[in-house]
């Protein structure tokens, strides 16, 4: 995935949403869910577009 971005090719991907996804509205970061966290009942999936990454932050 990093190779695609380094070559200038963004990519779309989807993920299952967990309750912690709502933190992104405040922090701008979608955290990894913990092992006990439940997925959201409503709007349980989301599509995103990766356009860059940070090795320092370990984030896309």
Say what the pLDDT of residue 3 is: 95
3-state SS class at 17: coil
3-state SS class at 25: helix
Say what the pLDDT of residue 40 is: 81
pLDDT in tens, 3-60: 999 999 999 999 999 989 888 899 989 888 888 988 887 778 999 999 999 999 989 9
């Amino acid at each position: 995935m990093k190779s695609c971005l380094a070559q200038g090719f963004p990519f779309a991907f989807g993920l299952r949403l967990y309750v912690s996804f709502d933190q992104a509205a405040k922090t701008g970061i979608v955290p990894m869910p913990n092992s006990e966290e439940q997925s959201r009942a409503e709007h349980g999936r989301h599509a995103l577009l990766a356009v860059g990454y940070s090795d320092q932050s370990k984030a896309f």
